[in-house]
Amino acid sequence: MNQIFKKKVIEKPVTSETPAPNRTDYLIHSTVLYQYLDMAVEGREGTVITVGGKGASLSSHSVFAVANNLAQVRIDSSSLDRLSNQKHNKNQQPPPPAKFTFSLLKNLSPQEARASLLLLLNKLLLSSSASSAGIRPHLPLLISDTLNNSNNNNNNNPNPSASQTLDFDHAYDVTNEELLVLEKSSLFILDGICAILDHQSSALSSIVDAVAALSCEASGADASAFSSIDSGDGSSANKDEIAVASDLKVFLNGSKLLGKLECEAVSEIPQLHGTFREIARLVHSRTRVELNSPVVFAKVGNKGVSTSGGTAKALATAFLTLSEALRHLGNCSWTRAKLSIDAIINVDLRSSLMEMFNRECPRADSLGNLFLSSSKASFGGQYITFFHELNGLSEMVRKIVCWEAITAFVSLEGSEIIDKVQGNAPSSVEMNVKSDKKSEKRKKVLGKGTTVLMQIIREKLRSGVGEAVDRSDLLEKWVQDLLSLLDPTHSDFGTLLKKVKEIVESNESRRLPKLPKGTRDFAKEQMAIREKAFSIIMEVFKRHGAMALDTPAFELRETLMGKYGEDSKLIYDLADQGGELCSLRYDLTVPFARYVAMNGITSFKRYQIAKVYRRDNPSKGRYREFYQCDFDIAGQYETMGPDFEVVKVMTELLDELNIGDYEIKLNHRKLLDGMLDICGVPSDKYRTICSSIDKLDKQSFEQIRKEMVEEKGLTVLIADKIGTFVKERGSPLELLSKLKQEGSQFLKNEGSHMALNELEVLFKALEKSKCIGKVVFDLSLARGLDYYTGVIFEAVFKGATQVGSIAAGGRYDTLIGMFGTKQVPAVGVSLGIERVFTIMEQLHKEQNQVTRATETQVLVAILGDDLSLAAELVSELWRARVKAEYMVSKRVKKHIERAIASRIPLMVIVGEREVNEGVVKLKDVEAATEDEIRREILVEELQRRLSGGISP
């Protein structure tokens, strides 16, 4: 990370006799939005930029400060010493002087010329080859004096950037060698303008969101688009778009001025401003490197020093995106400014402001013309012209943004302030508006952030209110004051940036936190559904004799890698801790295999319900953290026995969860390999082609065919042959019979023949168990995971809620052997419970079912404030294993509302009278009946009623 060195001299101007001040290092992170905030203009005469020192580096801010006469230049003495250490023949006469003027800079603005000279000076001082190329200390001192003299000439000017001058016509004495360096220094011009563009882009990106927020309120725009960004459903918004939308919501929080005006210039703010932020960050990164990159000065015959044309091209390429981003930013800002003017109710004020806006604000077509002109210059290789015009484009956009702020302020408060100053009575139009109390109230309520911004603007404009009472004079004063407020060379701009930063950061704690994409919170009703589902699932697993197992949420990375094929890229890697590389578990199967191998187990029927993690792109029903419910059988058993039981377990789970219609697609990995062999696929491509085939449920075969041919190297003939096979699907026994008929190619392949025989055993078992009706034999099912070796299956929900696969699994006979010396065959199924929950929640919603979040059976309602009485009664119920809650309140209505809201069936009501008489009131909430019973038989009576059918 580069460091920025700033020098300050306090109280007195810098002269040649001023001692070198102490150096302070400032480290600025390039990706922070307010990276230049602490570099806002700090002074004029007292700010010094030191160049040439050991370890020193230029920043865009320091270049901008010198370029705008806001700082002087000081050369570190050590760099001059290096240039003085040239080895010359003592008898050699000094070379005859040549005359040089800075004519190369005449076509640039004074700001650009000064930035270019500073870059040339810095390169001369830092180059290790400068002295050998014949550069004397005289040349950098000449450049430094030129910069500082033009600065001193303008010290009395309150706005130095407006009249900075360089003496282009004065001829300076230089050697021929130095002349060659100066005449071939065009690259330094590019670097200088790049630094200005970098600084201005950062300053602009820091303020445009705040100005846009004011415009949204001034025009009554519909800002709902800001809330739709980053909805957490896997949308494509990048982090900069999300950040812009978040900042706008902070500025507009609580605003009553937003309306229903729909406009692309508003809805596209997150995208355009976010893109501008991203490009400004990239520009900064490139400029930071460019400013301090080494340069070699060498004698090249009579041709002198030539700059690299390739470097100029690379710079122009990097900055072309900035020109496009500026054009879009300016166009949308201009449109919003126009909307703010149109929203002004006072006809005279609107007309005056529109006239001034048309006269002084750059027009959208001017913006387009300058963009085209700069692009044409870049296309023609005229890179200095390109960067010069790009700098002009940047300044034009800044002025448009200033006018957006002006029009927004006038629209929001201009009419009221002018009437107050002039003592005018409101017009009839205004009277009609003000008669609407809702409109009046609405107009007063700005967002919490924009309220602060408006206060800053009012304070800036306050001085002008007492000096001008004519409307046009007052508008002119406001325009000039706001232009200076938003000018990066003005000290007020730094104050504004600090306030903007405070607004955003002070609201960080008030912003609603959000979940990472692909994760979920589960409310109390959802948890009730989950717990019910988990109890059903565990009951099915235990019914089949499975034992529970739990493993760590993360494994050694080497344990997980190489087991999932192309899906290995979705594994979450963790930081190195204690010398171990770990990753979050991708599924529960590989950890199970590791456990079996590590403990030398040869037979194990287990279940596990736990969270797994995928570094995936979230979408509906597709999460990055989710539960899996696994059932696996490891060990030697009869042929296809475990496979049958696992498929049977899957059907029982889905039937008892009662989610609706589903089907189980089933295939055999050896049958699939045999099919690929028959088609002519090389064996080393089986797994990658299986991965392509596995996408057929989401993509057309034409898309898969293109992937297999263009990306994975199959011939068109082989791909088409695969297509004829993977289209086969149907009833298990019927399709099996077709594949086994005489002459079938599958019978000639050893692997596929064996697979067909195993499938025949499996299908007959499933038929006898009366669940084969849920199974579809599908040759397109491939399951992309590498560890499958036999039967593979996948359950798909067929209802209206589209969630994809809800359960899947297969046989993996070699996975356990990867972790140990002994192969232990295994087969298992994993239920994608999160997708099942999505279906169950949708069904509850469609059927208007009400889910109880608790199982509370009794509410102990104490009428009064006696907590000890509540503790006594409810503790008796808890000891009796009655599910109970208590509430202490003097109001009977609150107790009843609590019982109804929580759907608690029974209430025990105790007030002062009940305590004195030794009784309680037992209320049936649903039936609205009430009985009085003796206190000592309360527990017995409750148990009787609860066991008699009154349940949660």
Q: Is the pLDDT of residue 695 over 60?
A: yes
Q: Is the pLDDT of residue 348 over 80?
A: yes
pLDDT score, position 141: 83
Annotate 840-854 with three-state secondary structure. Answer: HHHHHHHCCCCCCCC
Interstrand relation of 47-51 and 554-556 (parallel, antiparallel or unpaired): unpaired
Give the chain's radius of gyration (CA, Å): 39
Q: Is the pLDDT of residue 527 over 80?
A: yes
Compute how many other C-beta atoms are within 10 angstroms of the C-beta atom of residue 64.
29
Q: Which three-class secondary structure state does DSSP give residue 234?
A: coil
Query: Rounded to 5 degrees, what angle do the CA atoms 493, 496, 502 make?
Result: 145
Instruction: In whole angstroms, give the CA distance from residue 196 to residue 62.
Output: 10
Q: Residue length, the chain?
A: 952
Output the six-digit token pair for 857.
């059976």
Residues 6 or more apart whose CB falls under 8 angstroms from that of 271 comprise 241
Instruction: In whole angstroms, give the CA distance from residue 592 to residue 585.
Output: 11
Instruction: In whole angstroms, give the CA distance from residue 374 to residue 383.
Output: 9
The residue among 2 and 331 whose pLDDT is bigger is: 331
Residue 797, CA distances (Å) to 658, 665, 832, 840 in order? 12, 11, 11, 12
Residue 228, CA distances (Å) to 210, 214, 232, 392, 514 in order? 19, 20, 9, 35, 13
Confidence of residue 596 (pLDDT cuts 50, 70, 90): very high
Q: Which of 526, 429, 390 minimizes the C-alpha distance to 834? A: 526
Residue 410, CA distances (Å) to 153, 256, 415, 434, 758 in order? 38, 18, 7, 18, 82
Q: Which range (21-30, 785-794, 811-820, 821-830) has the least confidence?
A: 21-30
Q: Which three-class secondary structure state does DSSP give residue 797?
A: strand
What's the whole-number mean pLDDT along residues 297-320? 61
The torsion defined by the Cα of 546, 549, 553 and 558, in degrees rounded to 10, comes to -90
Instruction: In whole angstroms, give the CA distance from residue 541 to residue 608.
Output: 9
Q: Is the pLDDT of residue 581 over 70?
A: yes
Q: Residue 859, exposed/middle/buried by CB under 10 A (0-12, 13-18, 19+)? A: buried
Instruction: In whole angstroms, give the CA distance from residue 15 to residue 24.
Output: 20
The torsion defined by the Cα of 559, 561, 567 and 573, in degrees rounded to 10, comes to 80
Listing DSSP states for 520-583 in one string gives ----HHHHHHHHHHHHHHHHHHHHTT-EE----SEEEHHHHTTSSGGGGGG--B---BTTB-EE
* Phi, psi (degrees; rounded to nearest 5) at 702: -60, -40
Which of 24-38, 502-516, 567-581 is most confident?
567-581
Compute how many other C-beta atoms are within 10 angstroms of the C-beta atom of residue 449.
28
Output the six-digit token pair for 166.
């360089």
Give CA 250 to chain center in angstroms.
17
Output the six-digit token pair for 116.
């270019």
Instruction: In whole angstroms, give the CA distance from residue 74 to residue 148.
Output: 9
The torsion defined by the Cα of 822, 828, 831 and 832, in degrees rounded to 10, comes to 50
Listing DSSP states for 286-335 in one string gives HHHHHHT--------TTS-----HHHHHHHHHHHHHHHHHHHHHHHHHHH
Confidence of residue 106 (pLDDT cuts 50, 70, 90): confident
Confidence of residue 174 (pLDDT cuts 50, 70, 90): low
Which of 378-382, 801-805, 884-888 is most confident?
884-888
* Phi, psi (degrees; rounded to nearest 5) at 255: -70, 140
pLDDT score, position 156: 43
Confidence of residue 145 (pLDDT cuts 50, 70, 90): confident
Instruction: In whole angstroms, give the CA distance from residue 89 to residue 93.
Output: 8
Q: What is the pLDDT of residues 191-233, one digit of tens each?
A: 899 999 999 999 998 899 999 999 999 999 988 888 767 544 4
Q: Is the pLDDT of residue 851 over 90?
A: no
Q: Is the pLDDT of residue 365 over 60?
A: yes
pLDDT score, position 100: 58
Identity of the amino acid at 86: Q
Q: Is the pLDDT of residue 556 over 80?
A: yes
Q: Is the pLDDT of residue 338 over 90?
A: yes
The residue among 377 and 804 whose pLDDT is bigger is: 377
The answer to whether the CB of 749 falls within 8 A of the CB of 678 is yes
> Given phi > 0 = left and psi -120 to 50 = alpha, else beta, which region is 174?
beta
Confidence of residue 422 (pLDDT cuts 50, 70, 90): low
Q: Is the pLDDT of residue 438 over 50?
A: no
Confidence of residue 499 (pLDDT cuts 50, 70, 90): confident
* Phi, psi (degrees; rounded to nearest 5) at 93: -80, 145
Q: Is the pLDDT of residue 897 over 50?
A: yes
Q: What is the pLDDT of residues 379-412, one digit of tens each?
A: 998 988 999 999 999 999 999 999 999 999 989 8
Alpha helices (runs of H) in 96-185, residue ranges in sequence order:
110-126, 138-152, 176-183
pLDDT score, position 92: 46
The residue among 158 and 835 whose pLDDT is bigger is: 835
Residues 6 or more apart whose CB falls under 8 angstroms from that of 748 comprise none
The position carrying tokens 């900055």 is: 319
* Residue 638 DSSP class: S
Residues 6 or more apart whose CB falls under 8 angstroms from that of 351 comprise none
Confidence of residue 16 (pLDDT cuts 50, 70, 90): very low
Instruction: In whole angstroms, give the CA distance from residue 631 to residue 833.
Output: 13
Element spanning 455, H or E? helix 448-465
Which of 327-336, 619-628, 834-843 is most confident?
327-336
Compute how many other C-beta atoms are within 10 angstroms of the C-beta atom of residue 287.
26
Average pLDDT of the chain?
80
Query: Rounded to 5 degrees, what angle do the CA atoms 469, 475, 477 make?
Result: 85
Interstrand relation of 582-584 and 554-556 (parallel, antiparallel or unpaired): antiparallel
pTM attached to this predicted model: 0.55
Dihedral sign for Cα atoms in the order 228, 232, 236, 240: positive
Confidence of residue 38 (pLDDT cuts 50, 70, 90): very low
Q: Which of 485, 203, 223 minimizes the C-alpha distance to 326? A: 203
Residues 6 or more apart whose CB falls under 8 angstroms from that of 33 comprise 205, 206, 243, 277
Q: What is the pLDDT of residues 468-489, one digit of tens each?
A: 456 677 888 888 888 888 888 8
Max distance between CA atoms of the chain, in angstroms, equals 127
Q: Which range (169-178, 183-192, 655-664, 741-750) has the least confidence?
A: 169-178
What's the whole-number mean pLDDT along residues 538-554? 94
Instruction: In whole angstroms, give the CA distance from residue 907 to residue 384.
Output: 85
Residue 804, CA distances (Å) to 583, 619, 801, 880 in order? 26, 11, 9, 46
What's the whole-number mean pLDDT along residues 33-41? 37
The position carrying tokens 């609603």 is: 512
Q: Is the pLDDT of residue 697 over 80?
A: no
Identity of the amino acid at 848: N
